[in-house]
Amino acid sequence: MDKSDIERRVKKVVCQVLRVEEGMIEPSSHFVFDLGAESTQSVELVAAFEGEFDIEMDEEAALKVQTVGDAVAFIGKYVD
């Protein structure tokens, strides 16, 4: 799976969980400060990413991911 495919799917999940428009999402977008994620939504995002990519991530490490670009890179480690 290439990076652009991962990024497209990450954006889809972020739109669904955080209820934001895809046009608002950039690789540098911070989940909390730019996209308005609350702590409960961070856990929802991790679960949604796991479901979307059919992976199991280290939840503690995943919750430290701050931006969309970091999420793409983090998930990339699991799907390669």
Question: Residue ranges of the alpha helices (H) in the chain?
Answer: 3-18, 39-53, 59-62, 68-79
Domains and CATH numbers, the chain: 3-79 (1.10.1200.10)
* Cα gap 76→36, rounded to integer Å: 24
Convert the pLDDT of each residue in 8-28 to its tens digit: 999 999 999 999 999 999 999
Instruction: For residue 24, give the DSSP letter.
Output: G
Convert the pLDDT of each residue in 40-72 to its tens digit: 999 999 999 999 999 999 999 999 999 999 999
What pTM value is reported for the model? 0.94
